[in-house]
Amino acid sequence: MNIIFVVNFGLYKKITKIENVGGIETNTNDVIKELELRGHNLWVPENEPKEPEWVKNGEVDIIAASTHDPLTYLQVGKYKKRFKNRAAVVRHAHTTVEDMVGNIFPDKPIFNKLLEIWLRIQYGPAHLLITPSEYSKQCLLGMQHSLTYPIYPVSNGIRLENFTENKEYGNNFRRFLQEKYGVPLDATIILNVGLSWKKKGVDLFGDIAKALPDYYFVWVGPINNNPDIDKALMLKNVIFTGFYDDIREPYYGADVFLNTSRVENQGIPLIEAAICKLPIVAKDLPAYDWVVHDESCIKAEKTEEFIDGIQKILSDNNFKDKIVKNANKIAIDIHDFNKIGDKVEALYEKAIRIKKIWDKKRNI
């Protein structure tokens, strides 16, 4: 297949001054790399402005996109019109209204409605949508007035080979914390990973840290300045590192992974933690249905439940070993990107068939 992949991560990072957009950017890069490895032709306009010959010749099979900004919408529309006789449109629908509420705009009905309208406009031109989970599929179905495309849940996946254990990873992270923040090398580290948006539960993270002053609570990921972060940083045992170059080091250098997010369409850090054999304490979210409370993680709702879960893991090695082993096995079984690549490739081919059927019906 010949594929144009539209993204505008560079524009977003320039506006927000962050170094990584998180799971969306990681997954997009993985998909592009995988499709290239499978012999497909890929052109990413953001990375290479010059059109390859197959684009100039109109030999485009797929127009794919994973960002949802106005420029992406205009580019997809332009290419769809230009290659209307051949190219199908696939949108990687990482974004839902539920996922964005209160992040970019205030959590107000008017802004949430506008966001819903915008996402319907964004996804409308697609012949097929790929979304990370069954939960995010249901969210997308819920905002539609009239559905014009099929939606398929496919895990973002993890490239297992990128997370192979190395004893130096943990040592490097521990030394970093000691040198920059004065954290003892043998301290107990409770880790969270991701953008520090309001939906990620920064306030809950701080409340848990306040109740467990003997442990260090470290949040790794681009910092989105807000009052919740300022309040959490008043605690001596809370650290926000900002962007960290090698994410494997925090996973292998921590003792517990703590996820306090209020909503996720999938939650890549949870999968990465499981791959790195880091015990998990997480909010009980629909997207986390692949792990089971007390079997492969601890799920919590109230602050006290998070506190009890962390203490149980740190005090009961047999329990910790059990949930680590189970979560790791499940993550490898269902989130291995080698398997995800097969699904994405098949859905791109399906989108081409769908377009042909739609075009045939329109011509009848």
pLDDT 10s digit of each residue in the chain, 364 long? 999 999 988 777 776 666 666 778 888 999 999 999 999 999 999 999 899 999 999 999 999 999 888 999 999 999 999 999 999 999 999 888 887 776 666 677 887 888 889 999 999 999 999 999 999 999 999 887 777 789 999 999 999 999 999 989 999 999 999 999 999 999 999 999 998 888 899 999 999 999 999 999 999 998 877 899 999 999 999 999 999 999 999 999 999 999 999 999 999 999 999 999 999 999 999 999 999 999 999 999 999 999 999 999 999 999 999 999 999 999 999 999 988 999 999 999 999 999 999 888 777 4
Residue closest to 330 by CA, chosen among 263, 277, 260, 269: 277
Judge if 134 and 91 occupy the same domain. Answer: yes
Ordered strands of the 216-220 beta sheet: 238-242, 216-220, 189-193, 256-259, 280-283, 298-300
Q: Quick check: pTM over 0.85?
A: yes
Alpha-carbon span 301 to 280, nearest angstrom: 14
b/e code 111-142 from CB counts within 10 Å (16+ = b): ebeebbebbeebbebbbbbbbbbebbbebbee
Q: Quickly count: other Cβ atoms within 10 Å of residue 210's Cβ.
A: 17
Judge if 63 and 38 occupy the same domain. Answer: yes
Alpha-carbon span 167 to 29, nearest angstrom: 27
Q: List alpha helices for the chain, DSSP H.
A: 9-16, 23-37, 53-56, 70-82, 97-100, 109-123, 134-142, 167-181, 202-211, 227-232, 248-253, 268-275, 303-315, 317-335, 337-363
Alpha-carbon span 70 to 75, nearest angstrom: 9
Alpha-carbon span 208 to 281, nearest angstrom: 12
Judge if 93 and 229 occupy the same domain. Answer: no
Judge if 189 and 258 occupy the same domain. Answer: yes
Distance of CA 237 to the CA centre of its chain: 27
DSSP classification of residue 25: H
- Own/partner pairs for 13-19, CB < 8 Å, 24+ apart? 16/222, 18/195, 18/222, 18/224, 18/243, 19/222, 19/243
Residue closest to 260 by CA, chosen among 216, 199, 212, 304: 199
Judge if 166 and 304 occupy the same domain. Answer: yes
List all residues 6 or more positions away from 83 whose beta carbon is below 8 Å from its beta carbon. Answer: 58, 60, 63
Judge if 218 and 291 occupy the same domain. Answer: yes
Judge if 354 and 316 occupy the same domain. Answer: no
Q: Which structural domain range is residue 27 located in?
A: 2-157+337-363
DSSP 37-58: HTT-EEE-TTT--SPPHHHHTT
Judge if 190 and 56 occupy the same domain. Answer: no
Instruction: Look at the chain and report how many structural domains it folds into.
Output: 2
Alpha-carbon span 257 to 281, nearest angstrom: 6
pLDDT of residue 199: 85
CATH (domain of 138):
3.40.50.2000
Judge if 61 and 96 occupy the same domain. Answer: yes
Phi, psi dihedrals of residue 17, rounded to the nearest 5°: 60, 35
Judge if 132 and 175 occupy the same domain. Answer: no
Judge if 281 and 173 occupy the same domain. Answer: yes
Judge if 129 and 67 occupy the same domain. Answer: yes
pLDDT of residue 95: 86
pLDDT of residue 16: 65
For residue 142, the one-letter residue type is: G
Alpha-carbon span 56 to 140, nearest angstrom: 34
List all residues 6 or more positions away from 186 whose beta carbon is below 8 Å from its beta carbon. Answer: none
Q: Per DSSP, what are the bridge partners of residue 151?
A: 129
Are the CB atoms for 110 and 90 separated by under 8 Å?
A: no
Task: Give 238: exposed, middle or buried? Use CB within 10 Å, 0-12, 13-18, 19+.
Answer: buried
For residue 236, the one-letter residue type is: K
